[in-house]
Copies of this chain bind each other. A is one copy, B any other.
Amino acid sequence: MTVSTSDEYRKLITPGSCVACHSHLCQLLPADRRDAAQGLLELNRGSRLEAVEGGGFPRLWNIVRGVAAITTLLADGRRQVIGLHYPGDTVWAPEPVGGTIAWLEAQTDCWICQIDTSAASHAASANEALQARLFTLVQRQLEEQAARIVTLGRLDGYERLCLYLGELASRIGRPMGREILISLPMSRADIGDYLGLNAETVSRILARIRKDGLVKFVSPTQMIIPDLARLEKAVPIATPGQRQAARLRNTATSGGARLATNGPARAGGAS
């Protein structure tokens, strides 16, 4: 993990006019604690960020740039990516619990703004805007995790990968006319860790999805999605777009929370 002090940031995070992110969550902290409570970190690909004990109040990670995974390990070395987060996301940092630990791991070079609300809590418990924002944020993260539980519990590999590609397309895809260009931020093995598969299976299923014409390969890490709707139709669930629209409807009333959101959605599958 690298703490950067480059000029590029200094400009971004000028106190009082930080433009690093769109959430401006830090602005809701009490003015005298704003500096202590935030810090923009630069993480190189593969480096990690572990939450420390927050004393009961949340530590938040705001993904300013890049893609970062919340990851954990089993005793035997098996690995699972619990969540995958994109620019604009704010993550409730997982605290160490009973021998198990999860950390944030940069999948690409990242800028992460760390916000420690414990610094704010005592002075700002009356801060209703902050509280509302935190609730919205937590609600979203609970939903995303619930969706991932369904994905891992009930979707097969093909569906999981279609979901993943759709997620990438809507979060970091670059529209090119009617098509969408995506750069995969993770290796096959990492994708496998995210989707509960292994690297070879990911590779094989990707080949199958390509053969079905749902995606075109530019290189192993760059692909083009000719028709997002068709890709999403391969997954018998609400699409990220639909969910986002629904959430905008939902949150429109409550305190102007307007983070672009998504996350894998609901699943079909067997039973």
A residues near B (Cβ < 8 Å) are: 44-48, 53, 55-58, 70, 72-80, 82-83, 92, 94-95, 97-102, 105, 121-122, 125-128, 131-132, 135-136, 138-139, 141-143, 145-150, 152-159, 187, 189, 192-193, 195-199, 236-240, 242-247, 249-251, 253-259, 261-263, 265-271
Q: A270 CA to B163 CA in the complex, in Å?
A: 14
- Given A125-B128, A254-B55, A267-B80: A73 in contact with B153 (beta carbons within 8 A): no
Cα–Cα distance between A239 and B96 once the two chains are bound (Å) = 12
Q: A262 contacts which of B78, B99, B255 (Cβ < 8 Å)?
A: B78
Bound-state Cα–Cα, A154 to B71, Å: 12
Q: Is the CB of B138 within 8 A of A74?
A: no
Q: Which of B55, B72, B195 contacts A150 (CB 8 A)?
A: B72
Are B121 and A79 in contact, CB atoms less than 8 angstroms apart?
Answer: no
Given known A-B contacts A78-B269, A80-B267, A154-B79, A128 and B136 have beta carbons under 8 A apart: no
A247 — which chain B residues lie within 8 A by C-beta? 73, 97-98
Residues of B within 8 A of A100 (CB): 147, 237-238, 243, 265-266
Is A73 in contact with B238, judged by CB distance below 8 angstroms? yes
Closest to A157 in B: B269
